[in-house]
Amino acid sequence: MVILFVFFLGIGNFTLHKAMLESRHPLLAQLAGLVKLLGGRGSLALEFVVLLAALLLVAGGHSAWAWVYLGYSAMTAIAAWLLLSGRV
């Protein structure tokens, strides 16, 4: 059940991440590296690695990592809200 919870959080993270990349916010233009790498796919690949690590840790019996990933997802949601609403 915890694996499914982390998986659904990952779907939400990918959705928010893609929305931020497609927003063409001026702040994203100032960032180098993964955001510009492969047209944003580099940062999506990093997002996948984070999700995969969380899923593997939870599947290995370390269910506390679900709380860590929930915190990461909350920070992602707050950042997306700030960027997409124009507050930053």
> Could you report the per-residue pLDDT of 12-33, keeping only the tens digit for each?
999 999 998 888 788 877 776 6
The token duo for 72 is: 């990461």
Interval 32-58: pLDDT, tens:
666 666 666 788 888 999 999 999 999
- pTM as predicted: 0.86
- Give the residue from 61, 46, 51 showing the smallest Cα distance to 12: 51
Single-letter residue type at 10: G
SS3 category, 59? helix
